[in-house]
Structure 1
Amino acid sequence: MTASALAALYLRNDLLTSHLTALALIYFLGGAVSWLVVVPFTRRFADHRPPTTRFAAFFLALSIGTLAMTAFLFAMDYRWFYARWHAPFGSLIWIFQFLFTSASAVYQFAVLGSTLFLPLGLLCLIAASAYLVRHMR
């Protein structure tokens, strides 16, 4: 997923961003953590099913899991940046600030960040799903 994000950034602006390392790390960790969580979970539920059903299960689970984990990491990075202006931990105001900061970060990721998956991410998703269907024990 990092390669897809970097390719999209290269096509858009020749990688001219001051946050290239942070973006690469967020997209890498989003894909890696999602893989570690989603693949065993999906294998358990897709076992003893036809290959087309297994492919659909892996495709759907990997796509949703990767988007969700990357959006979560993006939201936590957003939260880390704005934490210095938020109320003390645990207060009611802090809870509202945390929720709305996270919601706005997820929305911003959905609008702007999810498009970075499209040049290569879709092809990698199809290839990974097909690989997992073939090599399922």
Structure 2
Amino acid sequence: MVASAWAALWLREGGLTFHLTELLVMYGLGGMLAWPLAVFLARFATLGRPAETRFAAYLLCLSLGTIAVTAMLFALDYRVFYARWHADTGTRTWLYQFAFTSLVAFYQFLVLGVRLYLPVGGAALLAVSLWLASAQPRQQR
């Protein structure tokens, strides 16, 4: 995911961004933290299934998991930045501010951040899903 984000930024902007290192760390952490959970869910969902089903499950779980975890990391980063203007922790106002800040950060990542997974991330996702689906043996019923 780091290579995908770097390649997308390099292709679109020549790698000229103020926070290149922070962005690459965020995308790398998102991919690393999503991997174990996504692989576990896909394997659990496809026990005893054919390779096509395993491929689809890996494709779905890895893509949604990586996007969700990375978006959560962006939402936490937004929360840290905007915390100084939010109400006291634990109040109803703070809860609304926390919820809407997180939702806006998640939405903004979906609109602006997901495109950094292309073109390299899509190809890597297909290759890894195919590899994982073929590596997991089909169990007998």
Normalised by the length of structure 1, the TM-score is: 0.97
Q: Secondary structure at the match of 2:89?
A: coil
* CA deviations over 1:35-54 (Å, ceiling 9, x no partner): 01110121111121010010
Paired letter, 2:108:
Q
| Equivalent-residue separation in structure 1 for 2:81 and 2:16 (angstroms) | 21
* CA deviations over 1:46-93 (Å, ceiling 9, x no partner): 121010010001001111111111111011111111111111111101
The aligned residue for residue 39 of structure 2 is 39
The aligned residue for residue 75 of structure 1 is 75
Mind listing any 5+ residue stretches in structure 1 that lack a counterpart?
none
Percent identity between matched residues is: 53
Q: Mapping of 1:117-128 within 5 angstroms?
A: 117-128=117-128
The aligned residue for residue 84 of structure 2 is 84
The aligned residue for residue 109 of structure 1 is 109
The aligned residue for residue 94 of structure 1 is 94
The aligned residue for residue 50 of structure 1 is 50
| Equivalent-residue separation in structure 1 for 2:30 and 2:129 (angstroms) | 17
Paired letter, 1:56:
A
| Equivalent-residue separation in structure 1 for 2:124 and 2:47 (angstroms) | 22
| 1:125 Cα deviation after fit | 0.4
Mind listing any 5+ residue stretches in structure 2 that lack a counterpart?
none
| Equivalent-residue separation in structure 2 for 1:50 and 1:102 (angstroms) | 38
Q: Secondary structure at the match of 1:49?
A: coil
Paired letter, 2:16:
L
The aligned residue for residue 129 of structure 1 is 129
Q: Structure 1 runs of 4+ off > 3 angstroms?
A: none
Normalised by the length of structure 2, the TM-score is: 0.94
Paired letter, 2:8:
A
Paired letter, 1:43:
R
